[in-house]
Amino acid sequence: MNSSEYLDYPKQILEYMDGFFVSKTMFAACELGVFDVLHESDLALSAAAVAARLGTSVDGTDRLLSACVGLKLLKAEMKNEEAFYANTDISSIFLAKSSPRSLYHMMMFHSHTTYKCWHFLPEAIREGKNQYERAFGISSKEVFEALYRSEDEMETFMRYMDTIWNIFGKDVLTAFDLSVFSTVYDLGGCSGGLAKQFVSVYPESTITILDLPKVVQTAKKHFITDEEHRISFHEGDFFNDPIPQADLFIMARIIHDWTEEKCLQLLNKIYKSCKPGGGLLLVEVLLNEDKSGPLTSQLCSLNMLVKTEGKERTPSEYSKLLTASGFKDIQVKATGKIYDAILGRK
């Protein structure tokens, strides 16, 4: 396309405009169980057969399945002028609920919580704050009180947090050799998704998850089985309770939740609890130094605005925070995927 055609036909802008149609189509197909029905069926199914199993309208299901074919989430084969649908490989692996690498819970969290907060993006930008109050009528000042507004919401959030580390956990944990550290704490370790990967990558090691009491109780009940005896728990509030001494602290997706002031408060506290020679591993999405990209990180930073007190940062912004808290020898390793690793030493 030459430049004048490009200006006559704003293809890119029209595609961006429809961007949320794409997300919502995938979320609806997940929520209704399209990928599960097709995953469980040995044969490709017609829209009528899928609708009968899901209890949905035939017309609506037909349109949804067809859109999923357009998105390459399903494949269709025509027989006697009727389409028969089956999952593509990525849908079976990442969207069917029963798959070990399923992102189903992440989709549900984005569909029910994130999407509603993004509705108020202009307000978030005007006011510079998260939008739980408008989206959910929650007047709470605390991010995690809003996220954990009911047991169910907390469990959905924890499942969302959990699933990602089945995919990216090994990359961030092998960015540095962490086998040199003996006592390891995962601060804000949530469901233990990363802790499980840690003990699998470092078979000689043990790790303790520190998180809020109700999160720890739910993690013990639903996420960490008794066989995972190398993972232990510590109930606590990392801002207000003492942080135990350790050789290595891991904080994945924690610093990006908080204001500069709270980050420094937390990092200073961790530095005091870190044994000499020990370290702090941050796992975060990184922005380019000139903030020119990557697009995923730029969008994640807007996502932090509508949902948290924090933002995504550049490697030098993280280095500055770590240096100001006393850490030295700071190294940043890009994994080539969404999450990168930053290690500071005491």
Q: How far is the CB of 235 from ligand SAM (least distance, A)?
A: 9
Inter-residue contact 155 to 218 (CB < 8 Å): yes
Q: Which of 26, 73, 146, 161 binds ligand SAM (CB under 6 A)?
A: 161
Rounded CA separation 331/343 (Å): 5
> In sequence order, what DSSP letters do the residues of 91-131 get, joined into one string?
HHHHTSTTSTT--HHHHHHIIIIIHHHHTTHHHHHHHTS--
The reply to whether 238 sits near ligand SAM by the rule CB under 6 A is yes
Does 212 bind ligand SAM (CB under 6 A)? Our answer is yes
d(CA 86, CA 101): 19
Residue 257 in contact with ligand SAM, rule: CB under 6 A = yes
The region of 22-30, 186-194, 200-208, 330-338 touching ligand SAM under the rule CB under 6 A is 186-194
DSSP for 232-245, written as a single string: EEEE--TTTSPPPP
Smaller CB separation from ligand SAM, 25 or 335: 335
Q: Number of C-alpha atoms within 13 angstroms, CB side, residue 198?
A: 30
**Residue 302 DSSP SS3:** helix
CB distance 315 to 284 below 8 Å? no
Quick check: is 256 catalytic?
yes
Site membership for ligand SAM, residue 239 (CB under 6 A)? yes
Q: Cβ of residue 172: shortest distance to ligand SAM, in angstroms? A: 9
Structure tokens at 238: 């990392």
Stretch binding ligand SAM (CB under 6 A), from 124-132, 220-228, 237-245, 324-332: 237-245
One residue of 237, 289, 294, 296 binding ligand SAM per CB under 6 A: 237
Determine which one of 105, 110, 234, 256 is catalytic. Answer: 256
**Contact call for residue 254 and ligand SAM (CB under 6 A):** yes
Q: Give residues in contact with ligand SAM (CB under 6 A).
A: 144, 161, 188-190, 193-194, 211-212, 215, 237-239, 252-254, 257
**Residues catalogued as catalytic:** 256
